[in-house]
Amino acid sequence: MRVVIQRVSEASVTIENTVVSAMNSGLLILLGIEAADSKEDIKWLSKKIVNLRIFNDENGIMNNSLVTNKGDAIIVSQFTLQASTKKGNRPSYIKAAKPTIAIPLYKEFITQFEMQLGKKVGTGTFGADMKVTLVNEGPVTIIIDSKKRE
């Protein structure tokens, strides 16, 4: 699994002119799932994200996590995060999981994340044409790959 995490002061997801998720302070999480991903990737990644200390404390130092700040989150599926640009100029999405694999893993990731966070999160709709808006705070943007665990 690959994620792009953005610390935001606001974010929303709109589908067909209808806002389906909106939030203020927290994390916008773009999630790319590959066929080789498992529940182990989900557990590791969700725990890592909710505990990342990327929010400012009272001294302005990034020392607080999403849990500590009681922040919100929106999780959006994004298969293009699995793009390979190794050959040529047209990205290959061969590593991206097919919907039969990706949808259950996406739903499980949301469930696990909510359990770790202790509250519901916003989402997009798998496979939908979504308009995602955000105000990146900082800016703070972090990329994590569950296969590399760096």
pLDDT 10s digits, 16-33 = 999 999 999 999 999 999
Structural contact between residues 96 and 123, judged by C-beta atoms closer than 8 angstroms: no
The reported pLDDT for the residue numbered 4 is 97
CA 99 and chain centroid, separation: 17
- So what's the architecture of 2-145 in CATH? 3-Layer(bba) Sandwich (3.50)
Domain boundaries, the chain: 2-145
Confidence category of residue 84, pLDDT binned at 50, 70, 90: confident
Q: Treating both helix axes as pointing N-terminal to C-terminal, what angle do 99-117 and 39-51 enclose, rounded to 10 degrees? A: 40
- What is the distance between the alpha carbons of residues 2 and 148, in angstroms, rounded to a whole number? 10
Q: In the predicted model, what is the mean pLDDT of residues 118-127?
A: 94
pLDDT 10s digits, 44-81 = 999 999 999 999 999 999 999 999 999 999 999 999 89
The catalytic residue positions are 80
Confidence category of residue 42, pLDDT binned at 50, 70, 90: very high
